[in-house]
Copies of this chain bind each other. A is one copy, B any other.
Amino acid sequence: MKSQKRSHLRLEAETEDMLTGPVEDYLKTIYEIGRGTVSVATNDIAQRLAIAPASVSGMVRRLAEQGLLSYERYRGVTLTEQGRRAALRTIRRHRVIESYLSIALNYPWDRVHDEAERLEHAASDELVDRMAEAIGEPVVDPHGAPIPSREGLMDETEYVSLGELSAGYGARVVRVSDDDPEMLRYLAELAIVPGAEVIVISRAPYQGPISLRISGHLLAIGPQLASQVMVEPLTNPDAPTH
């Protein structure tokens, strides 16, 4: 009598509070740019999502109508509490999935981001919670980004980048930018991964290289790369600089 009549439901909004993939991407991006509170420029959203600015204008108008964000033309957007919650749910999914792929399936760390980017819109909360449980409820993803709790709370601690650290100071890498596979492979090669301890030996002026000591080795990286590496300065500058 029923056999085949169910469940070929599309991935799109069915019930009131079900969001489409694109909508989740907008909210997530807005949260990540504005840390959930600051007003965000539509052009910045467009750049991050790699779409035309005009497309963003149209979308944010609709999202404002749905109460997910507040929007005044030419003035940028701010997430509402509802939008914030939706954004954090998506961010949690993304980061739990990244962690799970990396830990449980040994997925290469430079590719977990792209895979999670697609799965985050398809995985149910239940699945994500099971994944988190299976790998011991991690609090950060493989790139060091904090994972929001089931209740939607996330550690918002801000860190300085390796590019801002003065010569002579030591620091622990807490987080690296996660979306460029090539860069991630390079960083892994250099052992610049969350948890690693580095000491800044010297900083050449005029965008010059930054020399580091990391686990005994000496190496130099450009300021552009250094700016992608967030660190926690060590209180004790055990700096045997030279």
Contact = CB atoms under 8 A, between A and B. Distances in A.
Interface of A: 1-11, 21-22, 25, 29, 47-50, 101, 104-107, 111, 113-115, 117-119, 121-124, 126-127, 130-131, 134, 177, 179-180, 183, 224, 228
A87 to B, nearest CB: 14
Contacts of A3: 177, 179-180, 228
A111 to B, nearest CB: 8
Contacts of A49: 8
Contacts of A131: 105
Copies in the complex: 2
Given A2-B180, A122-B119, A180-B2, A7 B114 contact: yes
5 shortest A-B CB distances, which residue pairs? A118-B122, A122-B122, A4-B48, A8-B49, A105-B130
A119 B116 CA distance: 11
Contacts of A101: 127
